[in-house]
Amino acid sequence: MKKITFLLVVILIAFVGETYAQGVVTGTIFDGESNAPLPGANIVELRTSNGTSTDFDGKFSLKVNSPTGTINVSYVGFGSKNITYDVTNGDQDLGTITLSLDNSLEEIVIVGTGVIDLAEDRKTPIAVTTVRAQEIQEKAAGNVEVAEIIKNTPSVFISNQTGFGDGALFVRGFDDTNTAILLNGQPINSQEDGRVFWSNWAGVTDIANAVQVQRGLGSSKLAISSVGGTVNIVMKAADRNKGGFARFLGGNDSYAKGTLAYDTGMNENGWAFSVLVDYWQAHRKWAEGTHGYGQNYFFAVGYKPNEQHNFNFLITGAPQFHAQRFSQSNTERFAANSRFNENWGYSADFDASVGSAGQYTSDVDTERGNYYHKPVTNLNWDWNINEKSSLSSVLYASWGRGGSVGPRGARAIRTDDPDGDGPLIGQIDFYNTEQRNLGIAGGIGDNASRTGYVRRNSVNNHQWYGLISNFNTELTEKISWNVGVDFRLYRGDHFRQITDFHGLQGWANDRPDGGLITESYDSNPWAALFDFADEDQRIDYDYSENINYQGLFSQIEYGGDKFSAFFQGAVSNQSFIRRGRLFEDGDSDKLNKIGYNLKGGFGYTIEDQHTLYVNSGFYSRQPFLDNIFQNIRRSNDFVQPEVDNEDILGVEAGYRFRSKGFQVDFNAYYTNWDNRVILSNGTDDNGTPNDDSDDIFFNIFDRGVNQIHTGAELEFVYNASEWLDLKGYISGASWRFNGEINKDIYDDDTNELISSEEGLDLNGIKVDTAPQFTAGLGTKVRVINGLFVDANINYYAEHYLDDPDSRGLQTQNVGKIKPYSLTDVGLTYNFKFDTSRLVFRANAFNIFDEVRAQSTNDFGFIFTNGITFNGSLSYKF
C-alpha cells in the first residue's frame, strides 16, 4: 500500500509540474523612444528554442516550459531585456516592457565584439551613420546594390553604372580604393589596388545585420586605407532565435529573386545553426544588354558552451555573372537612347528560313561582362576572460575565382545604326562576325595582325588568409586598453584565356613563345572555381604577386562622466613580390614597406545632451602594388625612383545633441593627402580610328599628387510622433588638387618611356570624382497598424566634369554636371498570423525618372538609371 501511495504521489507531482510547465506569459513591448508598440519583437525562454514574436500592437503570448524562469525580449537595434516570470499560481501578465535604442548594438554584433570596430564601442564620438537590418531588408534585398544601402548619408555618393554590381562608392570625395570596407571586422578591399567589386558581395544584403558608415578617421584600429572613411558591414551569425522565412522578389526588366532561410535557434547545449540560399536573374538592369544571374549561400554554426566562450563559423558566397555597359565609344548615341549599350548583341544562332530575311533565334550575348565566385569563410572566437578582460579573434579565408569578358583581335561586326545615322554604332552582330571567322584560311586567328575575333577572359584568381585578434582590458573603472594583431597572406594570379573562338579553330601570336591556343573556358562563376587555363593556354599576360602583411595596433581610452579621450596607434609591414611567366619569368626582388598611423581625440559632454569632440590623425600608408611596378603585367622592374608612402593628415571636430526622439550631428573636417602616385592608362589610335592593329596602349604615372578635402556635414533624426519619423542631412565641401606633379607615360607593350613632364601645375583644379554638395530628406509614416510608407529625396550639385582628352590627371576643369535629385518611395504592410507574419514590400526608385549624366570617366558619360521598381512578399515563421 505504501508503494502504491508513493507512486500516486510521484504521478501527482509530475502532473502538477506538467501543469505548471504549461503556464502562459503575456505582455506588450514598446519602443521607449517613440512610445509606440514594437511589432515583430522576439521573446525567447532562455536556454531553449521556445519563443514567439509580438503582433502589430506589440503584444505577445508565450507558453513556457517551467513554472519559474526568465524570458529574453529583443528587437534589432534596441537593447534586449531579461524578464523573470512565475506561473506557479497561474498565467502571468508582465504588462508593458519598454526597450530603448541600443547604442552598443548588442543585438547586431553577436560575435566578434572585440574585432568589429563600431563607433558606439568608443566613447569619444566620430562622424557616423548606421543603417539597421530592417531598412536593409526593405530597400536593398533586390535589384539594389550593396553600396546603395548607405546613399542617404552626408558626403556619400553612389555612382550607379547600370550593370549589376558595377556601382562605385565615394565618401568625402574618395573612392572605394581609399575607403576601408570591413566585413565582420575583416578588410575586403583588394590587396593589390584597394578596389571593391560590389558584384562579389551581392549576397550581403540578405545577411547583413547593419551597415555603418564612419566618415573620416573612424574608430577602426587597423592600419587600413581609410582616407575617406570606413564602412563596417556586420553579417549575421548563427541566430539565437528559432525561425525562418521564404521570400519572393520581382522587379522591372524581368528581375526575379527567391530566398529561403532557416535558423534553428540555440538549443540547451549551446548550439545554433543558420542557413540561407537564394537565386536571382534579370534580362537587364535598366540599360540594354545588362542581363545577369546569380546565387547566394550562407551557412553558420554557433556554439556557446558557457558564458566565457562564444564560437561562430560561417561560409558565404555570391557567384554571379552580369553583362556590362562601359567603354562606350559613341556618347552621342546616348542622346537618342539613354539605355543604349554598344557592348551586346544576339548570339550566333540564325534561322534563315524565318520570314524573307531570317531572324535571330537565341538569347542576347555580350562582349563585356563579369563573372566571379568568391567563397568567404571565417571562424570567430570571443573569450570573456574575466569581468575586466576579453579576447576576440577571427581567422578568415577567401578564394576568389573569375574575371571579366572582353574582345580580342579584330573588331566585331555591328548592325547599322537603328536611326540610320551611320555604321559601327549599332549592336554587335555575332552571327556575321562568326561567319567572317569561318572564312579565315586554316581557321587560325592571329592577334598580331588582328585577324579574326575572339572573346577572352581577364582572369583574376586569388587566395587570401588572415587573422585579427584583439585583447581588451579595463585598467581602471574609467580607463580601458586594448592591443591586437592583424596578419594577412595574399596571392593573386592574373592571366588571359579564350572563352569563345566564334568559329575559329585556334588563336596565334598572342604569346612571346608563339604558342597556338586551342582551348576555351566558360565564363561561368561555378566552373571558374576549378576550370581555368593551364599556363600553355594563357595569352597576353600571365603573372602572380604575393603580398604579406603584419600589423600591430593598440588603443587606450579614458571615459569619464563628462570627459573622454583616446589615443590609438598602428604599425605594419607589407612586402611585395611579383612572379612573371609569359614576360620576364621568375620572381622580382622583394620590397618591404613600413606604414603606420596615429590617431587621438577627446570629447566633452554637457548635461548629458550636448557633446563636443575633436579628433585628429596621421597616416603613413604603403602604396598599392599596382603603383610599385613599372608595368605590372609585363615587368618585374620597380618604378624609378621608388614609390614612397603616402602621407595623410586628418582633423575633424563636431557637435552632437541627443534628447528623447531627436538627435543632431554636426561635424567639419580637413584632409590633406600628400605624395600620391596615381596610375591610369589610355589608348592612342595612332591616327587610324577604325583600325585597331596599330593602336598604342600606354600607362600613365602622375607622381607627387597633393589633394586637400575640406567640408562640413549636418545630419538629424526626429521621431516626431508614434506615427511619423523624419531624417535629413546636408553637406558642403571643397575638394581640390594642390601644387605641382610630374607625369611619366610608358608604352604598355615595350615599357619604353613615351614622354615625361615635370612641374605640371594643378593648383585649384577641382576633384571630379563626386558631387561636392549633397542634401537629403527622408520620412517614414505609420498609416495604420502594420502599414508604413517611406520616402527619400537626395540632391546632388557641384560635380565637376572629367576632361576626356586628358592623359592622366587633368590640368583644367571643363565644366560641371547639371544639379539633379533622385526620389525613392516605399511601402510596407505586415499581415500577422498567430506566430508567423506575411510582409509585403514595394519600392520605386527615381520615381520622377531623372535620366542624365551622373558621373564621368575616361570612357565618356555614365548615366544614372531611370525609374526602377521592385516588390517582395516574405513569409516569416
Q: What is the pLDDT of residues 789-824, one digit of tens each?
A: 999 999 999 999 877 677 888 888 888 888 999 999
CA–CA dist 150, 431 (Å, integer):
43
How many other β-carbons are positioned within 10 Å of the β-carbon of residue 550? 14
362: confidence class by pLDDT, cuts 50, 70, 90? low
CA–CA dist 773, 733 (Å, integer):
6
How many other β-carbons are positioned within 10 Å of the β-carbon of residue 152? 23
Name the burial class of residue 506, with classes exposed (0-12), middle (13-18) and buried (19+) by CB atoms within 10 angstroms of its CB.
middle
Compute the average pLDDT of residues 462-484: 95
Instruction: Supply the pLDDT for residue 101.
Output: 58
Least confident range of 225-234, 364-373, 452-461, 777-786: 225-234
CA–CA dist 457, 586 (Å, integer):
24
Bridge pairing between strands 389-409 and 453-474: antiparallel
142: confidence class by pLDDT, cuts 50, 70, 90? low
In degrees and rounded to multiples of 5, residue 292 shows phi and psi of -165, 165
Instruction: Supply the pLDDT for residue 122.
Output: 78
C-alpha dihedral (10, 11, 17, 18), degrees to nearest 10: 150
Looking at per-residue pLDDT, the higher value among 141 and 2 belongs to 141
Compute the average pLDDT of residues 525-543: 96
∠ Cα 325 329 332 (to 5°): 95
Compute the average pLDDT of residues 276-295: 91
Helix-, strand-, coil-residue percentages of the chain, each rounded to 5:
10, 55, 35
Q: What is the pLDDT of residues 207-225, one digit of tens each?
A: 888 888 999 888 888 877 6
Looking at per-residue pLDDT, the higher value among 120 and 806 belongs to 806
Least confident range of 195-204, 404-413, 422-431, 598-607: 422-431
- Which domains, and CATH codes, for the chain? 2-99 (2.60.40.10), 119-235 (2.170.130.10), 243-525+541-876 (2.40.170.20)
Q: What is the pLDDT of residues 662-681, one digit of tens each?
A: 899 999 999 999 999 888 87
693: confidence class by pLDDT, cuts 50, 70, 90? low
Q: What is the pLDDT of residues 41-90, one digit of tens each?
A: 888 887 677 888 887 678 899 999 888 888 988 776 566 788 889 998 88
Name the burial class of residue 690, with classes exposed (0-12), middle (13-18) and buried (19+) by CB atoms within 10 angstroms of its CB.
exposed
Helix locations, 215-290, DSSP H: none
9: confidence class by pLDDT, cuts 50, 70, 90? very low
In degrees and rounded to multiples of 5, residue 79 shows phi and psi of -70, 135
Instruction: Supply the pLDDT for residue 367.
Output: 92
**859: pLDDT strictly greater than 80:** no
Instruction: Supply the pLDDT for residue 361.
Output: 44
In degrees and rounded to multiples of 5, residue 794 shows phi and psi of -125, 135
**826: pLDDT strictly greater than 80:** yes
CA–CA dist 280, 644 (Å, integer):
45
Instruction: Supply the pLDDT for residue 420.
Output: 45
**437: pLDDT strictly greater than 50:** yes
Q: What is the pLDDT of residues 314-351, one digit of tens each?
A: 999 999 999 998 766 555 666 677 788 888 988 755 45
**258: pLDDT strictly greater than 90:** yes
Instruction: Supply the pLDDT for residue 360.
Output: 44
Q: In angstroms, how far is the first alpha carbon of the chain from the final one?
A: 51
Q: What is the pLDDT of residues 557-614, one digit of tens each?
A: 999 889 999 999 999 999 999 999 998 889 999 999 999 999 999 999 998 889 999 9
832: confidence class by pLDDT, cuts 50, 70, 90? confident
Q: What is the pLDDT of residues 418-430, one digit of tens each?
A: 544 444 467 888 8
Instruction: Supply the pLDDT for residue 658.
Output: 87
CA–CA dist 295, 371 (Å, integer):
12
Q: What is the pLDDT of residues 716-767, one digit of tens each?
A: 999 888 789 899 999 999 999 999 999 988 887 777 888 889 999 999 999 9
Query: Which amino acid makes up residue 249?
Result: L
Mean pLDDT of the chain: 85
